[in-house]
Structure 1
Amino acid sequence: MGYGDKLFWLSVVIQRKYAQICAEFDLTPAQATLLCAVRNEPRQMADLAASLGMTKNALSQLVDRTARRELVGRASSAQDRRVVMLGATPTGKVLAEAFYTQVVERLPEIARNLDADDQRDFERVATAVVDTADLSAPVADPPATP
């Protein structure tokens, strides 16, 4: 199995663990990610779409579904009323904090079978990958189908 294959399977391992935690909180992985992204402060919808690697349309649909559960809410920016801000509701903040705490505590379990040196190396490399990733690059909307 090549390096690309290993990365693919690593993503599967991470997604499975994340989905398991999401299910315990009755959240889809997308809803959980959205809640965690806005748990500390409201974010601009356009910036949030780029950070999450979603199109604006896909994010809007996700926000609609999550807002129906009264976990997030939209508001106009105080500086520019054309800018839509998204924030967690009080209920959403409580849920997001509880969920995020579990993710931070339990996601590292994916490396539990590694020895201590390998666990430190894994943490160092994972940190470097995230720190150097461009999480602000926008995702293009798919072309319209005729």
Structure 2
Amino acid sequence: MDYGDKLFWLSVVIQRKYAEVCAEFDLTPAQATLLCAVRNEPRRMADLAASLGMTKNALSQLVDRTARRELVGRASSAQDRRVVMLSATPTGKVLGEAVYAEVAKRLPEIARNLDADDQRDFERVATAIVDTSDLSPPASNQRVTP
């Protein structure tokens, strides 16, 4: 297997572990990701779609399914009523925090078979990749056009 193959299979290992944790909370991985993204503060739907790499339509459908479980809610922005904000309900916030904590605790298990030095190297490299990746949403002060 070449390097690209190894990265592909690493992503599968990570996704499987994440899905396992999500299932324990009766959430799909997409629902869990959404809850984790809004657990601390409301987010603009457009920014959320960009951050999560989803179309606005796909995000809207995900939000609809998650809102039916009373875990998230939509509201118009106080600054611009055309902007839709998404936030966790009190129940969604508690669930989002619990999922996030469990993922943070258990995802490192994927490196459990590495020796201590390799685990530290893996943590360092994973941190560097995330820190140098553009995971931020577009600037939220951009004007929204109708």
The structural deviation recorded for 1:17 is 0.3
Normalising by structure 2, what TM-score? 0.92
Normalising by structure 1, what TM-score? 0.92
| Aligned position for 2:28 | 28
Say whether residues 1:131 and 2:125 are aligned partners: no
Equivalences, count: 138
- Percent identical residues: 90
The structural deviation recorded for 1:132 is 1.2
Segments ≥4 residues shifted beyond 3 Å:
none
The structural deviation recorded for 1:137 is 6.7
Q: CA RMSD in A?
A: 1.1
CA distance in 2, matches of 1:86, 1:35: 10
Say whether residues 1:76 and 2:64 are aligned partners: no
Structure 1 gap ranges (5+): 139-146
User: What are the superposed Cα offsets for residues 48-83 of structure 1, whole Å, 9 maximum, x if unpaired?
Assistant: 011101111110000000000000000011111111
| Aligned position for 2:104 | 104
Q: Which amino acid aligns with 1:47?
A: D
CA distance in 2, matches of 1:137, 1:46: 9
Does the aligned pair in 1 maintain the 2:48–2:137 contact within 8 Å?
no
CA distance in 1, matches of 2:94, 2:10: 30
The structural deviation recorded for 1:131 is 1.1
CA distance in 2, matches of 1:137, 1:93: 21
1:56-71 pair list within 5 angstroms:
56-71=56-71
1:48-63 pair list within 5 angstroms:
48-63=48-63
CA distance in 2, matches of 1:31, 1:11: 19
